[in-house]
Structure 1
Amino acid sequence: MFDGTRSIDDKAIAMTYAQLLKQTSGELERFGVPNPEQEAWWILASSTGRENSQLAAELALPVPAAVGKKVAQVVQERRGGKPLVYATGETEFYGLRLKVSPAVLIPRPETEVLAAEILKELDLRAGRNLPFSILDIGTGSGCIALALLSQLPNSFAVATDISKEALFVAAENAGALGLSPRIQFVLGNVLEPIKAEEKFDVIVSNPPYIDSSEMESLDDSVRRFEPNLAIESHRGGTWFHREITRLGAFRLRPEGILAFEVGNRQAKMVARFIKKTGFYAKPQIFYDLFGYERVVLVRKI
C-alpha cells in the first residue's frame, strides 16, 4: 500500500505498467531513495521476471494484480530501509541472476573483480577448457564459485560456508543455473570440512574482513540487514586471510592460485604475510571499480 488513498494492488488491473512505474518512482522519491526512477525499473523488472527491454515494450499493458501486490511489498520494505536486493530477493553478479536473502552477503561489483582476475590468470595458464578444481571458502550466495563455473565448462567446485542457511541459498542458485552437477556444498569453517588429501587448482575467498572495532563505521543498512557472520572478523580484519594462506599452501597443487578479496588498506598487509610464508610467488594486487586495492592473487610455488 502506498501513501494516499490509492493502493497499487487495488488498482492493479486498471493500471498500466507505465502508470505503475511512475507511481513507484514517485513514492521512492518521497522517502529519499537515491535514483528512484532507475530503482522503480528494477523493482518492476524483478516483480514481473522480465528484462528491462521486455518491460519497455509492454508499458501500455495492464498490470496483473499479483505484480501490483509484489511491487507494493517491495516498496514498503524499501521504505523501512531494507536494501533493494533483499527486498526483491535477487541480484545480478557476473551476468548471472542470483537469489539472495538476509542469510547471505549481498554480492557486489567489487567481488566481480576477484572472479575476473582468477579467470585472466587461468587464461594465461592454459585456457578455460581444462578441468580445474576450485575451492570457494565462505561461499555465501555462491556468487564467486558459480561465476567461475559459468566460464569454465569442464571445471568442478567445492564451496564451504559456516551457515546452513547460506548454503541453502547457494544450492538454489546452482540449481537455477544448471550448475549443480559441478559443485559440492559443504558445511564448515575455513578448510576444516575439506579432506586432507583433496587438492585444488584454485582457492578463493571473500572472507569476513571488517575488524570488530570498525563495525560502527559501516553504512547503517549493512549493519542492520546483512549477516554479521559474513562481515565481522572478531580476531582482526585479516585473520581469515592468514589462516587460509597457511592451510591453503598444503591444499593447492603446484602453480595453484590463491585469491582473496580484502578490505581497505589491507592488500599490502595480506601480500606481505603471504610472501613471508615461503610457499608462494610474488603476490599481485588489483583495484576495484572505485580505485581501492581489493584483490590479492598469488601462485603457489
Structure 2
Amino acid sequence: MGQDLSLRSLLSATLLPPNEARILLAHLLDKHYQLSRSALLAHDDMELNAQAFEDWKFIESKRLEGEPIAYLIGKRGFHNIELKVAPGVLIPRPETELLVDIGLCEIKRIAKETGAAKVLDLGTGSGAIALAIAHEAPSAIVTATDLSSEALAIAMANAKRLGLDSRVQFTQGNWYDALNDKTLFDIILSNPPYIANQDIHLTQGDLRFEPISALTDHASGLTCLEIIISQASKYLKPGGLIAVEHGFDQSEAVEKLMSDSKFFDINKGLDLAGKSRTVTARKVHS
C-alpha cells in the first residue's frame, strides 16, 4: 500500500505547529497547482504529486531547523502590502508598522498645510517602510537608502512588482552618505540595527538566519541610532520630523540622543505589547 500523501495526512503527521504547516502547504498548493489556501479546507483529501511532496519534505525540514517561514515562502505581509523577502534582508515586523503610521500621519498634516511631503527612509532593507508609505500616500516624494546592494535589489524588485518603482527613489550608501544633493526632507524614518553585540537574542529564533548587519551594529546597539540622530538636522526642514525604531530597553537612551541633538517635541511610541519601540522628535524652527 502506497504512502498517504493527502493534505490531511501530511498535516496530521508533521511535527510543525498546525498554523505553520498550513502556511507552508498553502504556499506549495499555490506554487504547484495555483490553488488558494482555502483548498486546504475544501480538498484536504487531495494528494500531492511526487515533486510537490519532495518540496514539502524539504521545506518542512528547513522549518524544523528553525529557518524563518518568510524566507521559505519568499514573502511577508506588511502594512497592506506584500513584500518579497530573502536572506539578504531583514524580515519586516509588526512593530515597524509604527514608523509607517507615524509617517502617514505627518504626511496628512503636511498635505493640509504645504502640499507634498518629502520622506527619507534610511536603511530600507526590503523597502518595507518606503513602499508602504508610497502605497498609502501617493502624493509623498519618497527616497530610500541602503548600504547593501543585495537589499536594494530586493527593494527595487518589490517596488516594481507593486507598481511603485516610479514613486520611490532608491540610492546606495551608508546612512546619509547615500544622499548626493542638498535636499531637505519633511520626514526621516529609520529602523536601523539596534541589537547590541553578543546579545543572546542574536542566537535565537528567526534572528539566527537574518543578515547580521541588519540586526546589530557590532557594538552597544546605539551607534547607528547615534549617527542617524546626530546628523539628521542637516537633512531636515525646520520643524521636520524624525522617527526611529529602537530596542525594547533603549527608549531613555534614544530620547537622550534626541535631546542632545537639540530636537524638541520628543515622544515615544508603544507597540501592541505596550513597550516603547519608537521615538519621534522635531527639528527646531530656525
Fold shared, TM-score > 0.5 on shorter chain: yes
State how 1:201-216 maps to structure 2 within 5 Å: 201-214=186-199, 216=200
Q: Which residue of 2 aligns with 1:274?
A: 258
Match of 1:163 among 126, 148, 169: 148
Unaligned runs of 5+ in 1: none
Is 1:23 the counterpart of 2:10? The answer is yes
Shift of 1:53: 4.5
Aligned to 2:283: 300
Matched, 1:228 2:200: no
* Percentage of pairs with the same residue: 35
**TM-score, normalization by structure 1:** 0.83
After superposition, the Cα gap between the structure-2 partners of 1:181 and 1:270, relative to the gap in structure 1 and judged at 3 Å, is same
| TM-score, with length taken from structure 2 | 0.87
Taking the aligned partners of 1:130 and 1:25, their CA distance within structure 2 comes to 56
Pair 131,121 (structure 1): closer, same or farther in 2 beyond 3 Å: closer
Extract unaligned runs of 5+ from structure 2.
none
Partner residue, 1:77: 62
Residue 239 (1) aligns with residue 239 (2):
no
- In structure 2, the partner of 1:283 is 266
Find the counterpart in structure 1 of residue 131 from structure 2: 146
Runs of 4+ in structure 1 off by over 6 angstroms are none
Structure-2 change in CA distance of 1:22 and 1:38 (3 Å) = farther
The answer for the alignment partner of 2:18 in structure 1 is: 37
Aligned: 1:198 with 2:183: yes
Q: Is the 8 A contact 1:21 1:44 kept in 2?
A: no
Contact preservation (8 Å) 2:7, 2:46: no
SS for the counterpart of 1:210 is coil
Paired letter, 1:26:
A
Return the alpha-carbon distance in structure 2 between the equivalents of residues 58 and 124 of structure 1: 49
The RMSD of aligned alpha carbons is 2.5
Residues 42 and 240 from structure 1, CA distance in 2 versus in 1: closer, same or farther, beyond 3 angstroms?
same
Of 133-142 and 56-65, the range deviating more from structure 2: 56-65
- Tell me the CA shift for residue 230 of structure 1: 0.4
- Paired residues in the alignment total 279
Q: How does 1:43-192 map to 2 (within 5 A)?
A: 43-49=24-30, 52-53=37-38, 56-57=41-42, 59=44, 63=48, 67-126=52-111, 130-192=115-177
**Alpha carbons 2:201, 2:207 under 8 Å: kept:** no
Amino acid corresponding to residue 264 of structure 2 in structure 1: A
